[in-house]
Amino acid sequence: MAGNVVVDLKVDTRLPRAEKAKELLELLKKHSEPILRRRGWQILRLEEMTNSMIMGRCRINGNRNTNTTATVIWIRLRQGIGSSQFRDFRGLMASMLHEITHIKIMDHSRDFRKLENELREEYGYPPTKEYLEMFKPDSSSVQPRSLPSPSSSTEVCIFNTRHGKQLSTPNGSDVQVQERQARDNTAWRILPCPHEPGTSYIIDLKQQKFLDTPQGEGVSLWNNGGRDIEMIIDQNTSRFARNLRWHITACPHEPGTFYIINAGYGKFLDTNGEKVWLWNNNGKSVDTVVAENTSRFAGNLRWILRPVQ
């Protein structure tokens, strides 16, 4: 499908910071159009929802079995009705994917959750809590440390599957894995990158610093001399920008686990149970590393993302 697949954008210009609302709709359009285009779907108007606290709504004309077009999708951008504060983009994009699913399926059935999960997986998001509850594996055949798969929470603890240790920053700069410690230095916020759909930033909650790889080998924390998160993300456009961006990709060999792959170097977050670094088996492609990730050391590359309790 050529041209715009999200045709028109509409915000309420009477509300505060309408220009920010328009920017968020532009980002939602940019991030969702590749998914829509691959399926031949279209949204005639993407509009800010201003009169309700529900997250979104989708309107179509005709039979959903044959339909490929939403006449309108509404997304609630603000934290409250008329508020000048906005929801974070990760939540907005989750709402967008949910409403796109309604182009084909009206109710929240098993088929809806399966299709929604396909869209989320394609974008790089983990399964929803509802999907996991409907399709959870037989607990008798799965080792406990493979569960649960991550939810849509933006705050997670990250555990290595082979060593059972948590990705941590004990001194505020170095990154390693260690036994579970205080929440302050072991919880991470995952935010989608507005510049490169399908990638995310991984941010230490306490330090407010980004997971970074300056040379594509070691891993550390960085925040450009103490700048705030929004400013760093807005300015993350230099030739080193992808050092901060990560693909979080489902592992096909062990359900509920993920690879964390640096976008700039195409290398995997790896650990020996203490230190953490990047690895790609002497320059092999991401697909090849994933396909060959079946040895007794395979779990060194696999990670579980557990929502912060």
Domain end point (choices 101, 123, 145): 123
One domain for residues 236 and 281: yes
In this prediction, the residues of the chain whose per-residue pLDDT falls under 70 are 1-3, 136-153, 180-185, 309
Q: Are residues 112 and 166 in the same domain?
A: no
Q: How many domains does the chain have?
A: 2
SS3 for 49?
coil
Do 276 and 187 lie in one domain? The reply is: yes
Q: Are strands 155-160 and 6-10 parallel, antiparallel or unpaired?
A: unpaired
pTM: 0.54
Question: Domain limits at 296?
Answer: 153-307
Q: For 56-91, b where at least 16 C-beta lie within 10 A, e where not — what string? A: bbbebeeeeeeeebbebbbbbbbeeeeeeebbebbb
283 within some domain? yes
d(C-alpha 27, C-alpha 76), whole Å: 14
Q: Is residue 130 part of a domain?
A: no
Residue 275 shares a structural domain with residue 211: yes
Domain termination site, one of 85, 105, 123: 123
Whether cis (ω within 30° of 0) applies to the bond prior to 148 is: yes
- In this structure, is residue 141 part of a structural domain? no
* Residue 137 counted as domain residue: no
- Tens digit of pLDDT for each residue in 128-184? 777 777 775 443 333 333 333 333 337 889 999 999 999 998 887 889 998 865 444
pLDDT tens digit sequence for 166-177 = 999 888 788 999
- pLDDT at 1 (0 to 100): 54
Coil, strand or helix at 297: coil
Tokens for 263, please give them: 């976008």
In this structure, what CATH number is given to the domain that contains residue 50?
Answer: 3.40.390
Check residue 181 and give its pLDDT. 55
Q: Are residues 111 and 193 in the same domain?
A: no
Q: Please report, in angstroms and rounded to a whole number, the separation of the first and last CA atoms in the chain.
A: 43
